[in-house]
Structure 1
Amino acid sequence: MESWRKFKQVFWAVGIPPTFWLVLFFLIPLALIWVFSFGEKQGVVGIDITWTLDNYIRVFNPDILKIFWKSLGVAGLATIICLFVGLPVALGIVYAPNRYKGLLLLLIMLPFWTNLLIRTYALIAVLRQRGFLNFTLEWFDQKIRFMFDLVGLGGLGAAVLGEQFQALELLYNDKAVILGLVYVHLPFMILPLYAALERLDRSYLEASLDLGAGHLRTIWNVVVPLALPGIISGIIITFIPALGSFLTPDLLGGPDSAMIANIIERQFKSANDWPFGSALSFLLMYITFGALALRAVLARNSKDGI
């Protein structure tokens, strides 16, 4: 490959516009928020940059820590569910006939063609008290009761199913938030897993099965170690957006289901405390940088081990 130094004019012509865009609309706003995190709120809209650490110290408030640890738990659980659901799906796509792989990948990416807000409201229509899921359960409940009545066991049906169908409370709780996060972020787990599994040498799997290992043992002892880089990448790019998710807990969660992103939003809007909101925002940034650094270390160790 020719050195870029031989084509400096072309290099600068191609490189300057995206670099300018990145600096102007990404790095400078990010730097401003970082500076605000060391400021103090003055009046209604004023910010006095005093380079204080009080905003970061306020993060250790028990109420903030409680919400932060809860956010970590909810995002972590959603990531684990995405991993256990996404791994079989990715394996299924890898071993599907070649003529169907493109279609299956298209179905995985299809939700990205619809706005997140619309998808979330669609999920609300499914989970609400008079939504599609409760309506379906009620329909099955009526049919089962009818069958009990038909054979003269109406009393037994009432004893088993209860006197009347009770709609399930599926919305405005932590379970709904976790379900929403899994629904939104599952493709982010499947695609890296598929990319890692597609590169695997299938002879290893065939050898494991020929030597007497079952399918589950083959997946655990052969597939998982070989696909570990893809698994780690999938976990990182699923966990980080889930941790910083705002819309899903805001619409699907109740008053006690707020996550750290909802607290950040309140600092910038209702509380009008930009310095503290900036400190909370950069706390998530530091976690992101830490996760990416950990990913780089694990990848380097993996290469050194090879």
Structure 2
Amino acid sequence: MLVLPLAVVFVFSFGERGPAGGYVPAFTFEQYANLPARFTAFKNTLILAPLGTLAALIIAYPLAYQLAVRTDPRWKTLLLVLVIVPFWTSILIRSYAWIFILGGRGIPALLESVGIADVRLINTPFAVLVGIVYGYLPLMVFPIYVSLERLDKRLLEASSDLGARPFATFRQVTLPLSIPGVATGCMLVFILLMGEFLIPALLGGGKVFFVGNALVDLFLQSRNWAFGSAVAVTLIVIMLVTVTVYMRLIGRMGGRRDDISIM
């Protein structure tokens, strides 16, 4: 069920577009030669997806740390539920809410009332980035939270007893042991962002295209299945490279974690 659709897309990528759209069997590299025509979509995706992942990490790590290490156990369940609550609402509705917040009657109107005029937020890369962080933040929080929750608190106590300051303890003990959770959260968010199309379509207003938007256009509107398949295969290759780097990172971090546990 996983391999067969990928194989079909791979075969289609060497075909041609039919006179009425769709796919005509052929063997040509023409579709791959036309990939520069979608350079903007790939550029936006490869810039905003890592930036969105990094922004989500910067916000998620302190939140997960607070929940796992510094929060009273009696309040953890409630706070975790509050993190989950946004998922109870459709991403479509949440994106429309951000359209109003970032639109002319939202934050720009508020800024104009205090003397800051001509601020445009909606239909910009910034708006897409905000939507990405808001939509995918819980997926970053929970893997990090699990890693920190499983952290052996005796290691923190030992570090403190040996005279390490709190920041040194965090840098040398807590952070290395939470790296697997960080890597998992980053990969979850990054991979999903690479195929994202709804948030750029709504908050980007057609001006900030992702590869996902290009695929929707090629398959459903232009009906150029061959070119769409070539774009999809290229995206899959990027994913495979990312997963390979991820596996190597996990292997290295696992070795360092074992060293810390032994110490």
Within 5 A, what are the aligned runs for 1:236-275?
236-275=187-226
Counterpart in the other structure of 2:172: 221
Contact 1:129–1:167 (CA under 8 A) maintained in structure 2: no
Task: Specify the structure having the higher radius of gyration (Cα).
Answer: 1
Counterpart in the other structure of 2:23: 47
Q: Aligned letter for 1:97?
A: D
| 2:45 aligns with one of 33, 47, 71 | 71
Q: Distance in 2 between matches of 1:271 and 1:216?
A: 55
Q: Which has the higher contact order (CA 8 A, sep 6+)?
A: 2
Contact 1:130–1:167 (CA under 8 A) maintained in structure 2: no
Q: Classify the secondary structure of the residue corresponding to 1:43.
A: coil
Gapped runs of 5+ residues in structure 1? 1-22, 142-160
Q: Classify the secondary structure of the residue corresponding to 1:44.
A: coil
Q: Aligned letter for 1:228?
A: I
Deviation (angstroms), 1:166:
2.5
Q: Which moved more, 1:90-99 or 1:284-293?
A: 284-293
Q: Distance in 2 between matches of 1:58 and 1:207?
A: 59
Q: Aligned letter for 1:69?
A: K
TM-score scaled to structure 1, two decimals? Answer: 0.76
Q: Classify the secondary structure of the residue corresponding to 1:42.
A: coil
Deviation (angstroms), 1:78:
0.7
Deviation (angstroms), 1:219:
2.6
1:113 aligns with 2:88: yes
Contact 2:108–2:120 (CA under 8 A) maintained in structure 1: no
Q: Distance in 2 between matches of 1:220 and 1:138?
A: 43
Counterpart in the other structure of 2:150: 199
Gapped runs of 5+ residues in structure 2? 259-263
Within 5 A, what are the aligned runs for 1:1-306?
23=1, 26-59=2-35, 61=36, 63-95=37-69, 96-131=71-106, 133-134=107-108, 136-137=110-111, 141=114, 161=115, 166=117, 168-303=119-254, 306=258
Deviation (angstroms), 1:233:
0.8
Q: Classify the secondary structure of the residue corresponding to 1:272.
A: coil
Q: Classify the secondary structure of the residue corresponding to 1:256.
A: coil
In angstroms, what is the RMSD of aligned CA positions?
Answer: 2.2
Q: Classify the secondary structure of the residue corresponding to 2:23.
A: strand
- The CA deviation string for residues 128-153 of structure 1, in whole angstroms up to 9 with x for no partner, is 1102x3455566x3xxxxxxxxxxxx
Q: Aligned letter for 2:29?
A: L
Q: Distance in 2 between matches of 1:78 and 1:249?
A: 12
Cα 1:213/1:169, change in 2 over 3 Å: farther
TM-score scaled to structure 2, two decimals? Answer: 0.87
Count of residue correspondences: 256
Q: Distance in 1 between matches of 2:158 and 2:109?
A: 49
Identity of aligned residues (%): 36
- The CA deviation string for residues 88-132 of structure 1, in whole angstroms up to 9 with x for no partner, is 00011102111211111111111111111011001112111102x
